[in-house]
Amino acid sequence: MPESSFGVGYGSGSSYTPPVWEAPTFAAGDYTASGTMAFNVDAADANVFYKIDGTTMRVSFRLGTVSIVAPLSASLYIKIPANKVANRAMAVPIWTAQPGPVHEVGYAHVGAGDNRIRLSRLAEGNWIASVNQTYIFGQIEFEIQA
């Protein structure tokens, strides 16, 4: 039975070292939105970590008290850490909380050739405007270009 929860087993006779979580250096420009909507994320709001194991990348994110400024649109983006590019498409559910209160499942998606993770509400409607009142939590694993 593999000892690693990241998909690759290792044991006493193996030289495999499991990947460790790394935090990318914060840059406000790594958080963008579609159209002219603004996605304002401060360093204290962004808890983003990633692991790379061969050509597999896992990105975990907890964005809290972020702001979304009109005009509103349907997509928020997080730059894929470590200047990596997705090699295959992948989509997973995420959790979002917005003013209202509106708590819902959304999804995170990467497409082949993308250098950012797209965050969308489940019905792909526009995000709700907020000042420090939007939360987005999730984790996505995908193949990266070598």
Residue 95 within a domain: yes
Residue 2 within a domain: no
Q: Give tens-digit pLDDT for 21-62.
A: 999 999 999 999 999 999 999 999 999 999 999 999 999 999
Quote the pLDDT of residue 1: 37
- Of the candidates 90, 91, 87, which has an alpha carbon nearest to the alpha carbon of residue 146? 87
Quote the pLDDT of residue 10: 55
Residue 16 within a domain: no
> What CATH number corresponds to the domain at position 115?
2.60.40
Q: What does pTM read for this prediction?
A: 0.88
- pLDDT over 50 (residue 133): yes
Quote the pLDDT of residue 6: 53
In angstroms, the CA 33 to CA 78 distance is: 9
Residue 112 within a domain: yes
Residue 71 within a domain: yes
Residue 3 within a domain: no
Residue 22 within a domain: no
Residue 12 within a domain: no
Number of domains in the chain: 1
What token pair was written down for 24? 């990318």
Domain of residue 68 covers 28-143
- Extract long-range pairs of 47-51: CB within 8 Å, 24+ residues apart: 48/23, 48/24, 48/78, 48/81, 49/21, 49/22, 49/23, 50/21, 50/22, 50/24, 50/81, 50/82, 51/6, 51/19, 51/20, 51/21, 51/22
